Structure 1
Amino acid sequence: MSQQKTKYGSKKVEIDGHVFDSKIEARYYQQLKWLQEHNQILFFRLQPRYLLQEAFRKNGKAFRKIEYIADFEVHHLDGSIEVIDVKGMETEAFKIKRKLFEKKYPHKLSLVTYVKKYGGWIELDKLKKLRKEAKKQKVGS
């Protein structure tokens, strides 16, 4: 496993010849491999690309296409597709890409992170709610 730092301070990790942006992303890859080996999912893809906006020209200026590159695309046993991004936090750029993705694609988009306190893998939206509730209870007591 080779490692180098990324812009968010996480370390790049290499497993099975694939380079992941963080240890947590590499850990999720291993989780997906286990799920596939145990017939819990059909299969998954690494770094699928989704076109959010075509390239265009306006007033003689060229504008590049906007793409969203997710961490994983999971094909479930029921035929549904879930697009997964492993994140510790939501960046402003991601919030915009998420809106564009949600409008254009039917797939479920999940942001997940790993928090031992809440039992392991958890969706970021759910984690935010749990933390908000915990903060309310702390203030109320």
Structure 2
Amino acid sequence: MTMKNKAGTHFGRKVELDGYVFDSQKEADFYQRFIKNSGYQFEVHPRFVLEEATMMTAITYAPDFVVYDRNGHILHVYDVKSSLDGRYGVNTTAKLRFNLFQRKFKKAVEAVVPRKNDFKMRIYGLRKNVNTRQISPKGKVQFYDIMQNIDYDPAKIFNWR
């Protein structure tokens, strides 16, 4: 079921599926194809406090999906995007939240762009670029990896902890 957004927002239409409300059709598709039947426990839009409220309001972050390993530890923190850069991709605000999340919870946020049979995945905020260097047909250099499923441990693949 597709739902309307507030007037004036640039986000995709809300989509309701399996009792969850997703921020876009891309997010709902990622859930259906990669999360739902993965065999892992997961949460949709859990809220994490990055900085407690003091005189200022709290800084929070709600990733699209958090996937837990067999022992109940966070395996993946996914944020679904339309692209990895550009106007509708990972902007400066998102990168800052990813960085704050990583500093507090010691887990990297994986920005993902769903495609027909796989998804692009990029980790931002590390000192060293851990993703694979890709060159577009127009010669633009980007760093991301192509993943077929969520059955991987980013820390092991990229050799960091």
Relative to the length of structure 2, the TM-score reads 0.66
> Aligned residue for 1:4?
4
Aligned-partner Cα distance in 2 for 1:44–1:9: 24
What SS does the corresponding residue of 2:110 show, helix, strand or coil?
strand
1:69 aligns with 2:69: no
**Structure number, greater radius of gyration:** 1
How many angstroms does 1:5 deviate by?
4.2
The alpha-carbon distance between structure 1 residues 86 and 5, as it changes in their structure 2 partners (threshold 3 A), is same
- Quote how far apart the aligned CAs of 1:135 are: 2.8
- The whole-number CA distance in structure 2 between the counterparts of 1:101 and 1:9 is 23
User: Structure 1: where are the runs of 5+ without partners?
Assistant: 58-62
Q: Which structure has greater strand proportion?
A: 1
Equivalence map 1:34-113=2 (5 Å): 34-36=37-39, 41=40, 43-57=41-55, 63-77=56-70, 80-81=73-74, 82-88=76-82, 89-113=89-113
The Cα of 1:20 is off from its aligned counterpart by 0.6
- Percent sequence identity is 32
Residues 80, 107 of structure 1: 8 Å contact kept: no
Question: Where does structure 2 lack aligned partners over 5 or more consecutive residues?
Answer: 83-88, 124-130, 141-161
Please identify which structure carries the higher helix content. Answer: 1
Residues 53, 9 of structure 1: alpha-carbon distance in 2 compared, 3 angstrom cutoff:
closer
Give the length in aligned residue pairs. Answer: 123
